[in-house]
Amino acid sequence: MPRPLPPSGNLFAMDSAKSEMRQFRGIGASAGIAIGQVRIAERRRVTVTEYPVAAESIPGELSRFAKAIDRAKAELFALKEQLAVTHGPEHLCVIDAHLMLLDDTMLVGETTEYIERLGINAEGALKRTLNRFKSFFDGVDDDYLRERGGDVETVIERVLRSMVGEKQEPITAIDGKVIVVAHELSPADILQIDKSKVIAFVTDLGGKTSHSAILARAFEIPAVVGLERFTAEVSDGETVIIDGASGVVIVNPDQEAFRDYLQAKQRYEYVERELLKLRDLPAETVDGQRMRLKGNVEFLEEVASINRHGGEGIGLYRTEMLFLNRATMPDEEEQFLAYAAIVREMAPHPVTIRTLDIGGDKCLPDFDLFDEMNPALGVRAIRLSLRNPAAFKMQLRAILRASALGQVKIFFPMVSGVAEVRAAKALLEEAKSELRGVVPFDEELAVGIMIEIPSAVIIADLLAGEVDFFSVGTNDLIQYTLAIDRTNEHLSELYEPLHPAVLRSLKLVVEAAHKAGIDACICGEMAGEPEYLPVLLGLGFDELSMNAVSIPRVKNILRRCTMAEAQQVAQKVLTFATAAEADTYLKGEIAAHFSDSFD
């Protein structure tokens, strides 16, 4: 496991003499242990009533709405200026996304229409628009996009607040070191908070992929999200322990829990410090077998953490982030600037850029989307890009242009067969010919695909002849192989990376890649679990890409394995009929050989 666990014992047992100790479990969004006092950041919803207005008052309501939008924009511009001074330019895209929402045609158009057609006040009309947005985002079958609904809500709340004349207390004024607890924290909130005073975040809402969770990881601040009603369960000043890896939150810990977690925290920090010493040591086995360890990113600000943890580049840059939360598509120039910034920041190491992995029933401007019964199996990722060749080529040109600035590779998500790869490569060639002689780019740009669909595993030999590398997206490969929705918490115990079908798939993929002389990489979450390292190494993978904090943890195990040991473990783990047996075996091996890295 990547984190030290608190010593076993009755840590979680309630102490009857101190019944006020309460334990909660949310979603671990950013690893690390924090012990401190609660500071509730009140993000109370503004209360709004809808009422009818006379026909002659309608122009007045429209003008109140327009003025409130202008005020909200002015606030955001002021915030942007302030952040540019205090934090530099990197985070400002979050504020830009909110500014763009204020120009969104649905937001403005529908609210105006409600005021005029229903003859109601501006606040009531805007609240109706908010509810429409909410039901749209709630129905979206993708965690990431569903959480984007939170951004819309934050923006609309800002306008509503301005209309009813309420001021929201900024949560910048914080005394001492505290754990900030909020119903929801917008990225703007997180950027405004003085990070030297906040030791952790806890929120009722949100998931692992919410902007705030991603920012918490980028700032390496422990965070637990998705606790549902936690703000109603604690008060300012109460002592709280949070474990940002497991998602455990303990309010008013008894002495024993306090002592155990204090030890676990000290140990975590000690291990983190020790592991960082591995930063400049080669990622290789005892007998000199190299394996590239890289980081996954969504934002530019995560690159520093990859460098700090000794990552040898970016194995997965998820470009979706740039396309979301906005009314219009980023044009080629904007995309180029975003990719170029990451390539420059990561230089001299390589950056593997994934083309847009989005779709289903999500609204993206300029894309033709369908109402789908089953979006996970719908028009998404490469399928969506191929149906929108103009937009796809725009992204390809932007990536190609960035390839002139450093080492860039490109790969396509959710590939199910050879025809898709050929079609994508043909468009890449068209993009190249449009740029040739106009701007520089890397003519030899390596092209890969993600292996995430069982059909791609079965025909890995055919696909290997078409590309320069494979990168296994184990998150989706497990989902599609086992028919387990990766976002469904009720099925989480069936989401089994060590299922024999998954292990056999991994083996097939490496064998096909190596037979064709191309690299086999993994960029799904499995790559960042140190426990799986001997298996993935033994199977022959060339590269693992993961969250930055996991890099030294995985490297630590790698540097203590021999290739022969790893191959033995991989062979053995493939003999089990169930994931549970494989897991028991692997845990035994890990305890026997690397126990000091895991306790």
DSSP secondary structure letter of residue 529: -
CB of 291 to ligand PEP, least distance (A): 18
- Give the residue, chosen from 57, 239, 407, 475, that forms a contact with ligand PEP under the rule CB under 6 A: 475
CB of 384 to ligand PEP, least distance (A): 14
523 interacts with, out of ligand PEP, Mg ion, none, CB within 5 to 8 A per kind: ligand PEP
Q: Which CB atom, from 192 or from 209, has the smaller least distance to Mg ion?
A: 209
How far does the chain reach from its first CA to its final CA, in angstroms?
8
CA 347 distance to own-chain centroid: 23
Q: By the 8 A CB rule, do 146 and 140 touch?
A: yes
Stretch that binds ligand PEP, among 371-379, 419-427, 472-480, 494-502 (CB under 6 A): 472-480
Q: Point out which residues bind Mg ion (CB under 5 A).
A: 452, 473, 476
Q: Which CB atom, from 102 or from 358, has the smaller least distance to ligand PEP?
A: 358
211 is catalytic: yes
User: Which of 211, 309, 349, 499 is an active site residue?
Assistant: 211
474 interacts with, out of ligand PEP, Mg ion, none, CB within 5 to 8 A per kind: ligand PEP
499 is catalytic: no
Q: Which residues of 65-88 are buried (b: 16+ CB within 10 A; e: fewer)?
A: beebbeebbebbeebbeebeeeee
Nearest to 389 by CA among 345, 340, 344, 355: 355
Q: Which CB atom, from 318 or from 397, has the smaller least distance to ligand PEP?
A: 318
DSSP secondary structure letter of residue 7: P
- Apex 34 CA angle, 28 and 35, nearest 5: 130
Helix runs in 30-121, H state only? 58-87, 92-101, 105-118
Nearest to 465 by CA among 517, 407, 508: 517
How many CB atoms sit inside 10 A of residue 242's CB? 31
- Contact track, ligand PEP, 311-340, x by CB under 6 A: -----x-x----------------------
Backbone angles phi, psi at 531, to 5 degrees: -60, -30
User: Which of 93, 309, 499, 523 is an active site residue?
Assistant: 523
543 binds ligand PEP (CB under 6 A): no
CB of 457 to ligand PEP, least distance (A): 13
220 interacts with, out of ligand PEP, Mg ion, none, CB within 5 to 8 A per kind: none
CB of 91 to ligand PEP, least distance (A): 22
CB of 144 to ligand PEP, least distance (A): 8
- Contact track, ligand PEP, 69-108, x by CB under 6 A: ----------------------------------------
Q: Which CB atom, from 227 or from 546, has the smaller least distance to ligand PEP?
A: 546
Backbone angles phi, psi at 161, to 5 degrees: -60, -40
CB of 209 to ligand PEP, least distance (A): 8
How many CB atoms sit inside 10 A of residue 103's CB? 13
- Give the residue, chosen from 302, 452, 496, 589, that forms a contact with ligand PEP under the rule CB under 6 A: 452
**Binding residues among 512-531 for ligand PEP as defined by CB under 6 A:** 523-524
- Give the residue, chosen from 30, 355, 474, 487, that forms a contact with ligand PEP under the rule CB under 6 A: 474
**Binding residues among 343-362 for ligand PEP as defined by CB under 6 A:** 357
Q: By the 8 A CB rule, do 519 and 470 touch?
A: yes
Q: By the 8 A CB rule, do 253 and 239 touch?
A: yes
- Contact track, ligand PEP, 270-309, x by CB under 6 A: ----------------------------------------
Helix (H) or strand (E) holding 191: helix 187-192
- Give the residue, chosen from 312, 442, 476, 589, that forms a contact with ligand PEP under the rule CB under 6 A: 476
Nearest to 383 by CA among 369, 397, 371: 369
Report the distance separating Cα 172 and Cα 190, nearest Å: 9
Phi/psi class of residue 47: alpha, beta or left (left: φ > 0; alpha: ψ in -120 to 50)? Answer: beta
Report the distance separating Cα 189 and Cα 195, nearest Å: 11
CA atoms within 13 A of residue 305's CA, in its CB half-sphere = 23
Q: Which CB atom, from 206 or from 473, has the smaller least distance to Mg ion?
A: 473
CB of 481 to ligand PEP, least distance (A): 12
Q: Which CB atom, from 357 or from 468, has the smaller least distance to ligand PEP?
A: 357
Nearest to 501 by CA among 480, 518, 527, 470: 480
CA atoms within 13 A of residue 534's CA, in its CB half-sphere = 29
How many CB atoms sit inside 10 A of residue 496's CB? 20
CB of 523 to ligand PEP, least distance (A): 5
- Give the residue, chosen from 207, 473, 497, 540, that forms a contact with ligand PEP under the rule CB under 6 A: 473
358 interacts with, out of ligand PEP, Mg ion, none, CB within 5 to 8 A per kind: none
CB of 398 to Mg ion, least distance (A): 21
> What residues are annotated to the active site?
211, 523
* Interface ranges with ligand PEP (CB under 6 A): 316, 318, 357, 452, 473-476, 523-524
